[in-house]
Structure formats: C-alpha cells, structure tokens
Chains A and B, each alone.
Chain A
C-alpha cells in the first residue's frame, strides 16, 4: 500500500468514525427518549455501537489489499 493510499484510507476512517459516532449518538438519544424513559445507558450503548462499527470498517478497509479474493462461479 502506498503512502498516499494509506493517507486516503486513514482520512476515510476518520470521516466514517465521525459519521458512525454521530449516528450512534442520535439513535441512542431517540431510543432513550422513546423507549427507555430518558436513561443514559441507551445513549452510551449507541455510542459504543457506532465506535464498534467504525473500528470494523477501518479494519476491513486497511486489510483489504492483503486479503485473497475468491471468485465463486455459480453453476449454470
């Protein structure tokens, strides 16, 4: 992976992390207000989910060049 490509991937990771954290926070707030009587734990849960999704996406993005891709042909 070239340095330029790595830089682009890291930029994408950062942007995606911000989006996922924001989405997790937003959905956590909605669920907290609607279902869970404005407790804090759904917000924390949503933030955690967002963080986890962002981490997995970054991991997949950075590992992608090193994975062996397998093309499975469907039997016609």
Chain B
C-alpha cells in the first residue's frame, strides 16, 4: 500500500512537470518558444528585485555593456570573410617584401 502511494506521488510529480512544460509552450513550435524566452526576459529583472528585497541585501549594479553582439555579428562576418579572401594576396606581398629586405641586406 505504501509502495503504491509512493508510486502515485512520483507519477503525479513527473506528470505535473510534464504538464507545466506543455502548458507554458516549452514543447511547442518555434514561435511559441521564442515568445517564452521573451516572457522570461521580461519577468527576470522584477523577480530578481523581489528576491533581493526579500533577502535584504543589495546586488551590485549590472555593468552596462555598450557592445551588442547581435548588431556586430554582420560586420564581424563581413570583416572575417574580407580578411580571408585577401589573406593569400597579403601573405604573398609580405613574403615578397621580406625576401626583398633580405636581398637588400645581403647586398
């Protein structure tokens, strides 16, 4: 009897977790998933503030980073690919310059 109670409790807990995940849209399509992340981002700072007030200590202010990786990504890709495409030419030029320098030294 006790074994059955324990099993029923476990099934309830696991089933509840599964239901909560399904109900909050965690297991749905990509639109729902991105909405969930948006909601979580919006709910995170007030939740942190509440917990800080509850525990009564002050968190240091979050440093504001002026750099946004999302906006810098495209320019980063562009710069990397430009560097890669002009790489062999640049290496050739530097090699020639180096050889010329050595020849001048040898004269």
- Closest chain A residue to B38, Cβ basis: A15
Report A36-53 CB contacts with B as 1/0, cut-off 8 Å.
000000000000000001
- Bound-complex Cα distance A27 to B36 (A): 17
B residues within 8 A CB of A22?
Answer: 26
Instruction: Report A6-33 residues with CB < 8 Å from chain B CB.
Output: 11-13, 15-16, 18-20, 22-23, 26-27, 30-31
Instruction: Report B50-91 residues with CB < 8 Å from chain A CB.
Output: none
Main SS at interface, chain B = helix
- Bound-complex Cα distance A12 to B33 (A): 8
- Bound-complex Cα distance A35 to B10 (A): 7
- Closest chain A residue to B17, Cβ basis: A30
Report B12-36 CB contacts with A as 1/0, cut-off 8 Å.
0110011001000011011101101
Main SS at interface, chain A = helix
Contacts A15-B37, A30-B13, A35-B10 given; does A57 touch B18 at CB 8 Å: no
11 A–B pairs (Cβ distance < 8 Å), ordered by A: A16-B33, A16-B34, A18-B37, A20-B27, A23-B21, A27-B18, A30-B13, A31-B14, A34-B14, A35-B14, A61-B30
A-to-B contact residues, CB < 8 Å: 11-13, 15-16, 18-20, 22-23, 26-27, 30-31, 34-35, 53-54, 57-58, 60-61
